[in-house]
A = this chain, B = another copy of it.
């Protein structure tokens, strides 16, 4: 049985690998044509997709799935329109493949070009939202990658219907897309995929911290993602406090369940007395539970923040607050307890802001605005496969560019390395071109 699963997933991954070699050669026009055909096919299959989603929703209700999860699971006419709109915006994006990143003349008639290309085969696991299937598949196709997808079991019928529409569209456009998008049905199959480091180039988990950690622990394939979002805002001593209240309210209250919401507020001791009571009044209106250190609790009504609180992603209307003695102390706290996701400073001084933004070791650092801006759509990337807190390859919101790598192309005219060594040898010019 287990070896049966392994064999089946290896066949799918080999087919994806073959597809990835073909995709690397397809012109942008054909990749865009495929995206537009997918969009049409989603429209044409709307009734069967939405019917499939209705059944998933009925089962989920019978299983007493929590209401926010039901909301995420829903794929109706409005969601389908969002998918179609998102594909249009993706078609409009520049080609991420074939960009010349650098050109160097090594010698007369010997030119080195660094050019972007697809990564190859990408394995993605995502939780309940079925619209993620369309978003991820189309991002991968635009960037010339083959993709193996595993969605949440509660959305199985919807995912099957969406994948069917995508595959039909690809089949109609060009035979070379065969195997480029493959839906993995079971968790066991995805686990098996994690062992195929000879065929899969990158794994992107979109889901809970537990999911990400468990995947990182069980594969040699590079994993791109984030395991936690513990975001901070630091109120500098010269901050505009009115601006600070507005931004901190948004960072905590606007959508607390997501990874870029603020979890800890750090307040410079010079302004704590002025700022904290005003801020607490606003948070009280929104029903935010506050937990503070001793200095905070001497100024406002708040519970006790423990060591544990500084390292917690609440994903809820709860906020920990600490009064700090300096910008350096704020930076140290963030680098120690944070998750390298997104951290902000509120300050009038550009110098203080730059110091904070350089010293904080996070994928996004912000000055005088809400941590909630850390997002592929808001950053103008079109869409994102996820937010990375890794220190290699891609960091922060990952869009088309994060799904590419580069290759070096060396154009010669008969040069041998031996020509460049010994007496009277040729010399490299190493002249940057363009």
Contacts and interface: CB of A to CB of B under 8 A. Distances in A.
Interface of A: 20-21, 24-25, 104, 106, 110, 112, 117, 119-120, 201-202, 216-217, 220, 222, 224, 240, 243, 246-247, 249-251, 254-255, 331, 335, 353, 355, 357-359, 361-370, 372-374, 378-380, 390-393, 395-397, 405-418, 420, 428, 430
A110 B249 CA distance: 18
B412 A368 contact: yes
A265 B306 CA distance: 66
A335 B249 CA distance: 54
The 10 closest A-B pairs by CB, nearest first: A369-B412, A250-B416, A380-B430, A372-B417, A201-B391, A393-B393, A243-B414, A392-B393, A366-B410, A369-B415
Contacts of A368: 411-415
A330 to B, nearest CB: 13
Contacts of A407: 357, 362-365, 395-396
Contacts of A25: 355, 358-359
Contacts of A396: 407-408
Contact of A416 (B201, B216, B246): B246
Contact of A405 (B104, B222, B372, B395): B395
Contacts of A380: 104, 106, 112, 428, 430
B364 A410 contact: yes
Contacts of A359: 21, 24-25
A373 to B, nearest CB: 6
A383 to B, nearest CB: 13
A392 B25 CA distance: 19
Contact of A412 (B222, B367, B417): B367
A222 B408 contact: no
Contacts of A251: 416
A180 B186 CA distance: 46
- Copies of this chain, complex-wide, total 2
B414 A247 contact: yes
**A120, A220, A410: most-surrounded residue (chain B CB, <10 A):** A410
A417 B250 contact: yes
Given A357-B407, A368-B412, A380-B428, 8 more contacts: A21-B359, A24-B358, A25-B358, A367-B412, A369-B412, A369-B415, A373-B412, A379-B408
B361 A21 contact: yes
A391 B361 contact: no
Contact of A391 (B120, B247, B250): B120
Contacts of A413: 243, 368-369
A119 B417 contact: no
18 contacts: A21-B335, A24-B361, A25-B355, A104-B380, A106-B379, A119-B391, A202-B392, A240-B414, A247-B414, A250-B416, A254-B417, A365-B407, A366-B411, A366-B412, A367-B412, A378-B428, A380-B430, A393-B393
A20 B417 CA distance: 38
Nearest to A200: B391
A363 B405 CA distance: 10
A348 to B, nearest CB: 11
Given A361-B21, A409-B357, A410-B364, A110 B392 contact: no
Contacts of A367: 409-412
A222 B220 contact: no
A216 B220 contact: yes
Contacts of A392: 119, 201-202, 222, 224, 392-393, 405
A105 to B, nearest CB: 9
A373 B415 contact: yes
Contacts of A249: 416
